[in-house]
Amino acid sequence: MDILHSVAKVRARVAQWRRDGRTVGLVPTMGNLHDGHLSLVQAARQECDAVVVSVFVNPTQFGPGEDFDAYPRTLDADAARLRDANVEVLFAPSVEEMYPLGANRSWVEVDDLGDYLCGADRPGHFRGVTTVVSKLFHIVQPDVAVFGEKDFQQLAILRRMTEELLFPIRIVGAPTAREADGLAMSSRNGYLTEQERALAPRLQHHLRQARQALEDGERDFRALEARTAEALGKDGFGVDYVTVANARTLVPAAPGDRELVIAAAARLGKPRLIDNLTLTLPAS
């Protein structure tokens, strides 16, 4: 595996693969890799001949007071894990390489889909995500890009961006990787204390209960959201949101919606945890 730090070197490597007739997969990450990230790498490996994994802590998707400076940078350990996973290229650019003119003035933004769920609490976050992913798409020009379904809203936004901007890239959503007790894998799980880590799986537990209620016939979505948020609060979570949403538009679900996502974000000590479950209601 080669570790490349410049746009020019990545483009040259991909150009050589193209001349050799190889297909290319991209897995964008912010590093501090765990088994969930490696499941994305495995998905890309199944789809393509060569895989590029980017490790870049993107400043434009962090808001004021968020953990940009504290976000773990573990490039040596990440490289070792990716080497074991037979990744061809680790692209680890500097901020200056990705934003060569300094303060950014050119943005890629998807309207509407970013107005709900995490977008409502983190203004500007998804604009930063779509901008940096667009840059990575232009640099690597992959055939396939893989993202995790844990970040359901991000995946929906990136699918929409890719389609509307005519990127010739197939977006693959990989299933959420979970710990044995059901907690969605996340780099921020490392912030949890021992006591908080024992409580963290309750987020998934309450989402499963909400899904079961819907499968059993519950159709008062707002009441279900309130009950779930109350239950999380009793377990010690600081709830940002619990939403039953239309899985396509991410708008809070209305009567007649069948394709649903139950999504939640809640703080437990230092980290903000997110998770979601999807379901299809039967036709009435």
- Residue from 5, 37, 138, 206 carrying the catalytic annotation: 37
Q: Is 141 annotated as a binding residue?
A: no
Q: Is 37 annotated as a binding residue?
A: yes
Q: Is 170 annotated as a binding residue?
A: no
Q: Is 186 annotated as a binding residue?
A: yes
Chain centre to alpha carbon of residue 31: 12
Q: Is 269 annotated as a binding residue?
A: no
| 37 is annotated as an active-site residue | yes
Q: Is 220 annotated as a binding residue?
A: no
Neighbours of 6 (CB within 10 A): 13
Q: Is 270 annotated as a binding residue?
A: no
Q: Is 36 annotated as a binding residue?
A: yes
Residues 6 or more apart in contact with residue 277 via CB below 8 angstroms: 207, 208, 210, 211, 261, 262
Quote the tokens at residue 244.
């039953």
Q: Is 46 annotated as a binding residue?
A: no
Distance CA 244, CA 78 (A): 35
Q: Is 148 annotated as a binding residue?
A: yes
Q: Is 135 annotated as a binding residue?
A: no
Q: Is 195 annotated as a binding residue?
A: no
Quote the tokens at residue 158.
């990136």
Q: Is 1 annotated as a binding residue?
A: no
Task: Decide if 13 contacts 57 (C-beta within 8 A).
Answer: no
Distance CA 163, CA 155 (A): 12
Q: Is 69 annotated as a binding residue?
A: no
Distance CA 228, CA 207 (A): 7
Distance CA 60, CA 19 (A): 34
Quote the tokens at residue 93.
């650019």
Task: Decide if 97 contacts 63 (C-beta within 8 A).
Answer: no
Task: Decide if 231 contacts 208 (C-beta within 8 A).
Answer: no
Distance CA 115, CA 102 (A): 27
Which are the catalytic amino acids?
37
Binding residues for beta-alanine: 61
List, as residue ranges, the binding site for (R)-pantoate. 61, 154
Residues that constitute the known binding site for ATP? 30-37, 148-151, 177, 185-188
Annotated binding residues: 30-37, 61, 148-151, 154, 177, 185-188
